Chain A
Amino acid sequence: MLKPIKLFGLFARISILNEVQYRANFFLQVLQSSLSLGTGLIVLSVVYSYTDNLGGWSQAELLAVYGVFVLMSGLIGSLVLPNMWAFMEDVREGRLDFTLTKPEDAQVLISVRVVAIWRLVDVVLGLVVLGVAITRMGLEASWWLAFAFAATLIMGMVLLYCVLLLASILSFWFVRVWELMEMMQSIFQAGRWPVGIYPDWLRLGLTYLIPVAFAVTVPAEALTGRLTPELLAGTLLFTIVALVVTRLIWKWGLRNYSGASA
Chain B
Amino acid sequence: MSELATPIKPEPRRFGLRNMLTMYAVAARQAIIEQLQYPAANMMFMVHILIEPVIYLVVWSSVATSQGGAIGGYTAAEFAGYYIIWTLVRQFNLAIGPQGFHWRIKEGRLAAELLRPVHPLLPDLGYYLGYKVPQTIYWLPMGILLWLLFKPEINPVAWQIAAFPVVLMLAFFVRFFFMWLLGLVCFWTERVDALFELYFAAELLFSGRLVPLEVMPTWAQNVANFLPFQWTFYFPIEVLLGRVDLPEFWPGVLAQLAWIAGGYTLVRLIWKLAVKRFTAVGS
Contact = CB atoms under 8 A, between A and B. Distances in A.
Interface of A: 24, 28, 31-32, 35-36, 38-39, 42-43, 46-47, 49-51, 53-55, 176, 179-180, 182-183, 186-187, 189-190, 192-193, 197-199, 201-202
A76 B45 CA distance: 21
A103 B59 CA distance: 50
B62 A43 contact: no
B41 A176 contact: yes
A202 B58 contact: yes
B161 interface: no
B185 interface: no
Contacts of A24: 191
Interface stretch (B11-19, B87-95, B105-113, B210-218): B210-218
Contacts of A55: 62
Contacts of B71: 50
Contacts of A187: 47, 51
Nearest to B46: A183
A50 B62 CA distance: 11
B3 interface: no
B52 interface: yes
Given A24-B191, A186-B48, A32 B55 contact: no
Given A32-B193, A39-B204, A193 B45 contact: no
Interface stretch (B121-129, B171-179, B194-202, B267-275): B194-202
A28 B191 contact: yes
B246 interface: no
A161 B55 CA distance: 23
A61 B47 CA distance: 29
Contacts of B149: 199, 201
Interface string B27-69: 0000000000010110011011101101100110011001100
A183 B55 CA distance: 14
A235 B84 CA distance: 34
B58 to A, nearest CB: 5
Name B's interface SS: helix
B55 A193 contact: yes
B217 A179 contact: no
B59 A186 contact: no
Given A35-B194, A46-B217, A179-B41, A202 B54 contact: yes
B45 A54 contact: no
A28 B194 contact: yes
B76 interface: no
A145 B197 CA distance: 36
B201 A189 contact: no
Given A36-B201, A46-B217, A197 B66 contact: no
Given A51-B63, A182-B44, A182-B48, 19 more contacts: A28-B191, A28-B193, A35-B201, A46-B210, A47-B63, A50-B63, A50-B67, A50-B215, A51-B66, A176-B38, A176-B40, A179-B44, A179-B48, A180-B44, A183-B48, A186-B47, A186-B48, A186-B49, A197-B58
B44 A183 contact: yes
| Most B-side CB within 10 Å, residue of A24, A46, A187 | A46
Contacts of A31: 194
Contacts of B62: 54-55, 197
A31 B52 CA distance: 23
Contact of B205 (A42, A199, A202): A42
